[in-house]
Structure 1
């Protein structure tokens, strides 16, 4: 079955305290976003990549591609007002009747080949595959002035990729309307489909702060050459 990756890169530099959007910051001599696309291209050279970018950042990206001689084929689609709208735009650019689509954060460049493979494999078998990891720390439920301990073993941290049979996730987004969801699994769940969790990796971090970037640099340095 045809495999597709929708890479969503609509972030800003606000939490980084940077003028440049976080997806364009450098990770070992290349922009983070290029590292992310490389991870999927290295997994399967036949995989099609749809890159969802803010309209205002398309020129910057093209300039970076020229500067770094970045030649991985990809289709660039304009994002929307929020992540939900951006993913919908990316999905609408896919015209296969059926395929497997992995939706991934543009600022998760350390995703492993093993996770990408397992997500496609599980999605083909079960319709969806959502990468997650157990919590390490104790957690408390807190609202207003009240809080209480809860069992962390009953909770998971959700990562990307979140991989689906194309027809299922496109229908779920089509039925969602203007509502905004925090991730794609929530969109599919709202349509009545059971979510299938698969094991992720603590190294598959989302780079949103300066601290995250320092951790990513250290993790990248530890990868086999």
Structure 2
């Protein structure tokens, strides 16, 4: 039996709070009495206390995060690194903290605090077996595609997936992908790795794995937390 590869999680938290209509960056907004980002890190720790957590934040938010950790007595061990000008640059900076030649690296949105430990585990397992694992769910609503010249047309939703995080990869593959020049169509890590010609492996996600982006998401997040207490 092969030795299990070390597991990392690069948690990217570069929000500014503009869509949240608040001055406070969304990753620092409190739900259930503590910042969203702390809930997110705790989910990975609950999956495996040995996961090496790397938090990527804008440089001007590093001191704010340290103060929040002191205020909330947040003792969960994690490394912190300053992000880049774009998400691509931020993930690349986080990847620089992965020291082993080979490891499993999950890249996760800092404002997705409800990812289940089962989903995290499945993503690592699939990435170990196939090199990558992309969490996604099926659309619940009907989909229309915009067409050239105006208008739109119906498309079968069974042919589409909504991509979530974590997106998990073998470190060697992710490093090779991030050696490429950044492109405008790199919207997530899957699109970066796919540019190498890799076939993406999908893992079933959950509709609870929301990305907290707008004020309505905060209402839903508080409801989830209350439900967990029952």
TM more than 0.5: yes
How far off is 1:95 after superposition? 1.3
Count of aligned residue pairs for this structure pair: 224
The residue number in structure 2 matching 1:162 is 167
User: Which of the numbers 47, 57, 60 marks the counterpart of 1:56?
Assistant: 60
Query: C-alpha separation between the residues in 2 aligned to 1:89 and 1:139?
Result: 36
TM-score between both structures, scaled by the size of structure 1:
0.97
The answer to whether structure 1 residue 8 and structure 2 residue 12 are counterparts is yes
Q: Is the 8 A contact 1:110 1:220 kept in 2?
A: no
The residue number in structure 1 matching 2:227 is 222
How far off is 1:224 after superposition? 5.2
The residue number in structure 2 matching 1:131 is 135
Q: Where in structure 2 are there 5+ consecutive unaligned residues?
A: none
How far off is 1:179 after superposition? 2.1
Runs of 4+ in structure 1 off by over 3 angstroms are none
How far off is 1:220 after superposition? 1.7
Query: C-alpha separation between the residues in 2 aligned to 1:178 and 1:125?
Result: 27
The answer to whether structure 1 residue 196 and structure 2 residue 201 are counterparts is yes
The residue number in structure 2 matching 1:211 is 216
The answer to whether structure 1 residue 43 and structure 2 residue 47 are counterparts is yes
Query: C-alpha separation between the residues in 1 aligned to 2:60 and 2:215?
Result: 23
Alignment RMSD: 1.0
Counterpart secondary structure, 1:223: helix
How far off is 1:29 after superposition? 0.3
Q: Is the 8 A contact 1:102 1:163 kept in 2?
A: yes
How far off is 1:213 after superposition? 1.0
Counterpart secondary structure, 2:191: helix
How far off is 1:101 after superposition? 0.5
